[in-house]
Structure formats: structure tokens, C-alpha cells
Amino acid sequence: MSNRLAIILVCLISSGILLGIFFTSNYNLFGLLLGFMTGLINIQWLSRDTKKVIDEEKFVALRIYSKSLFSRLGMVTLVVATVGRFRPEWLLFLALGIAGGIIISLILSIRQQIMHGRG
């Protein structure tokens, strides 16, 4: 997924969630926003690492992927632990946001690959 598309997606989803928070006064939706951002950053990070190792040897690529996997897993764990510690009522919305961010990003990436014929 391109950076331009990611910025547009973040702006649209964020504005929708913030409007929902404003009209419903349900501040648990901040967990949804935080989760969506976490999922989107996770997929963008994976995409960046994929482009970086596309021409490397298999062993080198696997080593880079394993480091990236543990780094991304650590980031998600840090977000979940922080939210769980300070705002446990946001955890359900955080999980939904992470899942939504990952699924929407993957759907758009797959669609972009199919449209450009590089898949």
C-alpha cells in the first residue's frame, strides 16, 4: 500500500471515529482509533521490510524478517499492555481496531497488486 493511500485512509477513518466520539460521548472509541493506527503501522512496516529484502538471499531475508516480526510483535504488545494498564475498558475496541487496521490495509494492498498486475 502506498504512503499516500495510507494517509488518506488514516484521515478518513480517524475523522469518522472522532465524529463518533463527539456525538456519542463514548470515549472507549479512542481504543478503536489507537488499534486502527497500530494495525496500519504494522502492515506498513511489513510492506517496507518486504521491499527492502526483495533481492536478498533467502537466509538474509529470513533473518531480516525474523527481526522485523519480533519488533512488530513488541510494538503491538507494548500498545496492548499500556492500554490494559491505564484504560482496560478500551481493550475490546483496541482489538477490533487492530484487526480492522490489518484487514483493511491487506485488502487495499491486494487490490493494488491486482490492479497494477504485479501479483
Taking the model in full, what pTM does it have?
0.83
**H helices within 1-119, ranges in order?**
3-24, 29-52, 58-86, 91-116
Q: Which long-range contacts (CB under 8 A, 24 or more apart) does 20-28 make?
A: 28/89, 28/90, 28/92, 28/93
Residue among 108, 81, 82, 117 at smallest CA distance from 10: 108
Tell me: the pLDDT tens digits for 57-105? Answer: 888 888 888 888 899 999 999 999 999 999 999 999 999 999 999 998 8
Tell me: the pLDDT tens digits for 18-46? Answer: 999 999 988 999 999 999 999 999 988 88
